[in-house]
Chain A
Amino acid sequence: MKNTAKKQMSKSTRSNLIMTGAIVLVYIVSQIMIAGGAMSNLMKGLLVPLCYYSILAVSLNLTVGILGELSLGHAGFMCIGAFTSAFFSKATVSVITNAGVRFTLAILIGACAAALFGGLIGTVVLRLQGDYLAIVTLAFGEIIKNVVNALFIGIDSNGIHFSMKDAMALNLSEDGKIIVNGPRGITGTPKDATFTIAALLLILTFVIVTNLVNSRSGRAIMAIRDNRIAAESVGIHITKYKILAFTISAALAGVAGVLYAHNISTLIAAPKNFGYNMSIMILVFVVLGGIGNLKGSVIAAVVLTMLPEYLRFMQDYRMLIYAVILIVMMIFNWNPKCITWRKNHSLQGYFARLTKKTKKEA
């Protein structure tokens, strides 16, 4: 028993070390490239997005791959993290002048707010199963986006004012300022998100999820995924573990939202960035990277975020090519004929045959 436990420990530590090493390596290489002027502006602009897309993919993989529930509302949690933290940063930008302290607090606030909503929504949603759960998470994501779009918040000397109608209904006094301006969102959030912080947060996310997966709770969560009734009958508290996984996943998506909000100057809740399209894009990362495979999620997020940028030379055709690549990759991955073809033509198999032949000859 003790032996296996030790092996498990080393497995998660090794996995963490490999990923941390890889991220640090990429980080150092890109810093050298920036210093040497070898990196294009396009790539420089992509560094932070790559990190938050990876965080989103890893966190959604916790729900989809480890917990085994299809969620189509992940962008909603990102939206909550983004708006609460951007609100905080903009409100306190003159009070807390140290960007590091302010951003740390913003990350904590974004993560906590997303976790709170994750817990609440999880309690409601996780009673449903399969495709019903998928559609309800989609519904929650859309509700969050719509409500944020209709939200007006302002601050003056009397405190925080809040309205769902328009900016005039806030009744701000002379010294007041509007922070969340309905469909026009939050403008002028301090650009606190740097590549260093984003890379650190990605490592942190990866460590949190890997350690969770290899812990007692993680094994309970996977037991629920594999057979809910059997897991229940051996005394695993289904609701507790489901909500645990869902909440952590939401909190991490909130962290990605914080990075997103502090990387752009105007934060609006458009269908493009917080609608179901975004949730689906994250799901595409998870499925193409391998369901339940955390490293795969990071790789898929990086490759699929860069792909449309590198297809730019094809101009109008790039999204079309992206769609075709997506379909072809899914068929290549899952079609039974393709699976047998891959088995017969894999490099491993080729080497195995080669060594067999040489043995025979010998």
Chain B
Amino acid sequence: MSFLSYLIKGISLGSVYSIIALGYTMVYGIAKMLNFAHGDIIMIGGFVIFTITSTLGLNPFLAVLLSILLCTLLGVVIERIAYKPLRNATSLAVLITAIGVSYFLQNIALLIFGADTKSFTSVITVPPLKLVGGNLAISGETLVTIPLCIIIMVALTTFVKKSKTGRGMTAVSEDKEAAILMGVNVNRTITITFAIGSALAAVASALMFSSYPSLSSTSGAMPGIKAFVAAVFGGIGSIPGAMIGGILLGVIEILSRAYISSQLADAIVFFVLILVLLVKPTGILGKKIQEKV
């Protein structure tokens, strides 16, 4: 039974990773940049929910909604101020700017909320499910996380495939110049992408900190990096790829933590990534890059 419960725990963690990875992969697909500050938006989202529920005593659901709103706004503002001026600069320059934004968010959180680790109270009030005579317990967080992840995935895929804005996103990621000629407003599309990515980061923060309650100014960095790994796993730029990559990563992490070594779990996750990329250099669902002279 323990294997099954670990597996479910892994899928749950993996679902959180895949929601974060979606933000990475969409921004990468459209703006061709590695948004290193994405993980820190998760941290900010966590602090917003924490502050609202613990100091103002508002309803957790309302707090999550407010956090989504604030993170969306934050994502758009960051894009406007820091990334937009560098639209056509080398990717390294944009990468360093993203790192600067990441430092900025971490330090501003440190200033406002202090250096001590906060204990996040779960926003999910669903009771745990006990199966097989109480031998297999599934936490309420897991019961919410997995279906929510599926809903987000379906909604996002439909949005990208069916809506006009979504098709504009695909067009910009395929060929920016051609998209401009076809009348797609590139700046607006990029802003919307950042807004969606940041909103998803806020949702992920509510889910993640409910299961793993320690919250500090750097607690967004490692999940951010892992989600980035998940996005690369599945083939960066691909939405179903992010989902597959995220869940695989979560399962591998929880299983190796349980059966091999908790210290080496991260090393094993990264090692599997390297193996996958050696066999499929552009990830599981990644497109093959054609090279021309």
Contacts and interface: CB of A to CB of B under 8 A. Distances in A.
Q: Interface extent on A, as a size class?
A: 35 or more
B96 A139 contact: no
A138 B226 CA distance: 11
Nearest to B225: A276
A134 B34 contact: yes
Interface string A117-155: 000000010011101101110111011001101100000
Contacts of A147: 264, 267
Interface string A44-63: 00000000000000000000
Given A230-B293, A280-B99, A291-B90, 11 more contacts: A131-B232, A135-B277, A142-B266, A143-B267, A146-B264, A283-B96, A316-B111, A322-B103, A334-B86, A334-B93, A335-B86
Contacts of A277: 221
B99 A326 contact: yes
A336 B263 CA distance: 47
Contacts of B103: 319, 322-323, 326
Nearest to B270: A139
Interface of B: 28, 34, 36, 82, 85-86, 88-93, 95-97, 99-101, 103-104, 107-108, 110-111, 221, 225, 228-229, 232, 236, 261, 263-264, 266-267, 270-271, 273-274, 277-278, 281-283, 289, 291, 293
B90 A135 contact: no
Nearest to A277: B221
Nearest to B93: A334
Contacts of B110: 316, 319
A153 to B, nearest CB: 16
A340 B170 CA distance: 33
Q: For the complex, would chain B's binding face be called helix, strand, loop or mixed by DSSP majority?
A: helix
B97 A132 contact: no
A32 interface: no
Contact of B104 (A138, A149, A324, A331): A324
A136 B273 contact: yes
A5 interface: no
A327 B100 CA distance: 5
A86 B226 CA distance: 31
Given A70-B92, A128-B281, A316-B111, A330 B270 contact: no
Nearest to A183: B263
Contact of A139 (B229, B281, B289): B229
Contacts of A336: 88
B100 A128 contact: no
Contacts of B36: 280
A333 B267 CA distance: 37
Contact of A150 (B88, B104, B232, B263): B263
B220 to A, nearest CB: 13
Interface of A: 64, 70, 124, 127-129, 131-132, 134-136, 138-140, 142-143, 146-147, 149-150, 164, 183, 227, 229-230, 233, 276-277, 280, 283-284, 287-288, 291, 316-317, 319-320, 322-324, 326-327, 330-331, 333-338
A139 B270 CA distance: 5
Nearest to A338: B85
A282 B66 CA distance: 37
A227 B293 contact: yes
A122 B241 CA distance: 27
A124 to B, nearest CB: 7
A139 B273 contact: yes
Contact of A335 (B89, B108, B281): B89
Nearest to B282: A132
Given A135-B228, A320-B111, A327-B82, A287 B104 contact: no
B256 to A, nearest CB: 11
Nearest to A316: B111
A233 B293 CA distance: 10
B107 A124 contact: no
A142 B270 contact: yes
Given A323-B104, A327-B104, A149 B263 contact: yes
Contact of A323 (B100, B270, B283, B291): B100
Contacts of A316: 110-111
A337 B232 CA distance: 34
Contacts of A337: 85
Nearest to A286: B92
B293 A326 contact: no
Contacts of B108: 320
Contact of B270 (A143, A230, A320): A143
A330 to B, nearest CB: 4
Given A127-B278, A319-B107, A331 B293 contact: no
27 contacts: A124-B278, A127-B281, A132-B281, A135-B232, A135-B277, A136-B273, A140-B270, A142-B266, A143-B267, A143-B271, A146-B264, A164-B264, A229-B291, A229-B293, A233-B293, A283-B92, A287-B93, A291-B90, A291-B92, A319-B110, A320-B111, A326-B100, A326-B103, A327-B101, A330-B86, A331-B86, A334-B89
Contacts of A230: 293
